[in-house]
Every structure is written in C-alpha cells, then in structure tokens.
A = this chain, B = another copy of it.
Amino acid sequence: MTVDLTPGPVAEDLARRTARFVRETVVPVEERLGGVPGSDDVRLELQRAAREAGVFAPHVSPEYGGHGLDMRDRAFVFEEAGYSLLGPLALNIAAPDEGNMHMLEAIASPAQKERYLRPLAAGATRSCFAMTEPAPGAGSDPAALATTAERIPGGWRIDGRKWFITGADGADFVIVMARTSGAPGDAGGATMFLVDAGNPGMRIVRHIETLDESLFGGHAEMLFDGCTVPDDAVLGEVDEGFRYARVRLGPARTTHCMRWLGIARRAQDIAVARAAERELFGSRLAELGMVQAMIADNEIDIAAAHGLILQACADLDRGGSGAQSTSIAKTFCAEAVWRVVDRSLQICGALGVSGDVLLGRFLRETRPFRIYDGPSETHRWSIARRVVRRHDAAHAR
C-alpha cells in the first residue's frame, strides 16, 4: 500500500476550501475575541458557517455526516483549520471531541453510536475525556490509574478524582477511565465508561486556571463520588480500557500536531508580514540576516513537522499502532511549534508581546502542548526504549 505525500483530490479541494473559510470567516471572529472562544453561541455560529461552507466534520464517516477522510488527508485539512485558534472548533475537530469521535467510531456499540456519536458529530453535543489524575494518579504513567469502578447490581460505581479534563464544563457526556481490576501500578484492568452530564455522582470541583485559555470548556478538576452507571455505559469491553486509550492516543496526538502546526504557519505569516513592512536601520526587517535566520528556521521547522505528521499518518493508515512514529511526530511538533511561535513573536518585537497581534496568545496556547498528550520527556523515554528493544531483539541470539 502506498501513502502519498500529497492529499487525495477530495482532500485537496477540501483543504483549499477550509483555508479560505478559516481566513475569511473564522479569523475575523478570532481577532475580535482575542482567540478565546467565549460562549457556546460563538461555537454554534461558527459551526453553522462551516456547514454552509461544506467543510464541517471532515474526519467523521459520511454515515455520521462527515467527509470520512483518512489520517493522511486529515493532515492537509486540519493544518488549514488550525490556522486559527477557533478553526478546529468551527469544523468540529477540536480536542477532545475529535478524538472522542474517532474512538467512538472505532469501538462503541451501534446503540452508543446513535446516542453519543451522532449528535456529537453534528455539533449538537460536546464531550470530554476523563483520564488524567492528580499525582500520584494516572499522568505520564497511565498504569498509576487510581480511579476505581466497582461492580454493583445492574452496573458500576465509579470513585476517584480527575484533573485537567479539557472541555468538561458544558460537556453533555464524559468518557471516564477507571480501574476495574488490579491496583495502581498494574498495566491492566482499566475500563472506559460513558457518563451523562447531570449524573449526581459526578461533579466539577473547580476550573483550573491555566496558561492556555482557548480550548473550549476549559480544564476542570472533577470528582467521581459514588457515581453509578448502568451496564450499557461500558464502552467496548471491560478491562480493555488501556488498549482503547492507545487506539485514541496515536491519532489524537497526531491531530493535535496538525492543528498546532496550523498555528505555527499563522505565526510565521504574521511575522513575515511584519518583517516585510517594518523598517529598521534603513532596511526592511526582512533584509536583516538575523531576522532571515528566524524566518528560515520557522520554514524548516514547519516543513519538518509536516513531514513527520505524514509519516505518522502513513503508519496509522496502514493499520500500524503508530506508537513510535506518532511519538516522534508529537515530540518534534510540540517543540517546533513552540519555537516557531517564539521566533515569530521575537521578530515582531514589542508589537509581538502586545495584544495588538495574537502571538502572545499563541505562545500561551502552545506551551502546554509540550506537556499534555505525554510530556516530551516521557515520549523521549518511550522512543529510546523502543529503539533499544529493537536492538536487543536483533541481537538476542
């Protein structure tokens, strides 16, 4: 099977239309709001506009109203959508909904798909994914999972604490990961549950104030305190939660890369525009060597990130786990995007740190990406371990 470096014809057209839509329709809203999405009205209006422009839900299968793009094609469209902080929201491909749709399509039962996936894909509902726990619970080490689900007659009772649950505020349902066998430290025995908003045993304890502010619904700390759910709230199979998490993880971190690479392109465009206009010491900024070095390094970082995303997509589209390639792409992209935004801000000087351009906002939004979906250090650890295991296996004779 071959995987292209270029989008298929459908995706190419969709990417072009997405680019136009984002620049013409989304960016003005973003600039007015300073990049923070604000109310649900904004979200709904942007999604309506995206639907009219024919660019809504590019990732979901046609059965649920989408364009059914594979990962490779998503790369081209998502990068265009990511050109604005609000672009992914408009196309309904923002985290965590996008990853949840991907996982629901892969593992939910037909009934669950009707009840949860269909309205989610349509933008009628929102969701969140409750996995991360405060120390010493599940974080970089998923096996530390401390939230438990115990069998009760007709269902399960979930108890535990989660934090940094993106989009929790206003979510119509929550996919929560809980331990159904084993103990914290064991790599097995987790199960995913679908919990509806309003369940009296689940509540938001606080909104965590964070450096970033543009992910819709913010980051919440949640408490599951005797939260009971019926049997059909189990997503997939009992005790298969860690495996499902990996199903979600590879693609989810890769689409994160796509979206943030869009912001890197945007930052570069802002900086280049400034460098092309601003005069200093008798020449345009763009003619000064150190500024040229920054512009070039941005271009190199963006191209390299794009290449790594495509390699990860190729892996996933071929049916691979993408463990190594998505880890490599994520680590590089998170750091490259950060470098690009930082250099772009530097090129713009005082203007760059002001609210007159969105670069300071982008800096705040992209910083956490080097931490969530696995900190760079955890990924480097995993990458190296796989390389060494490969070596050990080849020499274990």
A residues whose Cβ falls under 8 Å from a Cβ of B: 1-6, 132, 135-136, 139-141, 163-164, 185, 208-212, 219, 268-269, 272-273, 275-276, 278-282, 286, 288-293, 295-297, 299-300, 303-304, 306-308, 310-311, 314, 324-325, 328, 331-332, 345-346, 349-356, 360, 363-364, 367-368, 370-372, 375-377, 379-381, 383-385, 387-388, 391-392, 395
Contact B211 A293 (CB under 8 A): no
**What would 18 A/B residue contacts be, using CB atoms closer than 8 Å?**
A3-B5, A135-B351, A185-B282, A209-B354, A269-B391, A272-B388, A288-B289, A289-B293, A290-B292, A290-B377, A293-B384, A295-B383, A296-B381, A299-B383, A300-B328, A303-B328, A304-B307, A346-B370
Selected contact of A272 from candidates B208, B324, B372, B387, CB within 8 Å: B387
Asked if residues A292 and B295 are in contact (CB atoms below 8 Å), the reply is no
Tell whether A135 pairs with B278 under 8 Å between CB atoms, given A350-B164, A387-B272, A388-B286: yes
Q: A4-B2, A6-B2, A311-B5 are in contact. Are A349 and B139 (CB under 8 A)?
A: yes
**Further pairs besides A286-B384, A295-B387: 17, Cβ < 8 Å:** A3-B4, A209-B354, A211-B364, A276-B395, A289-B290, A291-B377, A292-B380, A296-B383, A296-B387, A297-B380, A299-B383, A303-B325, A304-B304, A346-B371, A350-B368, A353-B367, A363-B367
CA distance A27 to B379 in the complex (A): 33
Q: How far is the CA of A278 from the CA of B312 in the complex (A)?
A: 32
Chain B residues lying within 8 Å of A297, measured Cβ to Cβ, are 380
A253: min CB distance to chain B, Å: 14
Contact B349 A375 (CB under 8 A): yes
Q: Give the chain B neighbours of A331 by CB distance below 8 A.
A: 296, 300
The 10 lowest CB-CB distance pairs between A and B, nearest first, are A289-B289, A307-B307, A209-B355, A292-B384, A296-B380, A211-B360, A296-B383, A295-B384, A304-B304, A289-B290
Q: How many copies does the complex hold?
A: 4
Known: A288-B289, A308-B304, A310-B5. A350 touches B384 (CB 8 A): no
Which residue in B288, B349, B363, B367 is a CB contact (below 8 Å) of A371?
A: B349
Beta-carbon contact of A354 and B384 below 8 Å: no
Q: Would A208 and B289 be within 8 Å (CB), given that A5-B3, A297-B380, A314-B5 are in contact?
A: no
Q: Which residues of B contact A291 (CB under 8 A)?
A: 289, 377, 384
Given A208-B355, A275-B388, A391-B272, also A376-B346 (CB < 8 A): yes
CB distance from A12 to the nearest CB of B (A): 11
Contact B371 A141 (CB under 8 A): no
**Quick one: closest B residue to A304, CB to CB?**
B304
Interface centre among A5, A275, A279, A376 (most CB of B within 10 A): A5
Task: List, in ascending order, chain B residues with CB within 8 A of A212's CB.
Answer: 353
User: How many angstroms between the C-alpha atoms of A325 and B349 in the bound complex?
Assistant: 23
- Chain B residues lying within 8 Å of A391, measured Cβ to Cβ, are 269, 272-273, 276
Partner of A279, one of B136, B311, B372: B136
CB-based contact B276/A392 at 8 Å = yes
* B residues near A385, Cβ cutoff 8 Å: 292
A210, B367: Cα distance in complex, Å: 17
CB distance from A252 to the nearest CB of B (A): 17
CB neighbours (8 Å) of A210 from chain B are 353-355, 360
Give Cα A352–Cα B210 distance, bound, in whole angstroms.
Answer: 9
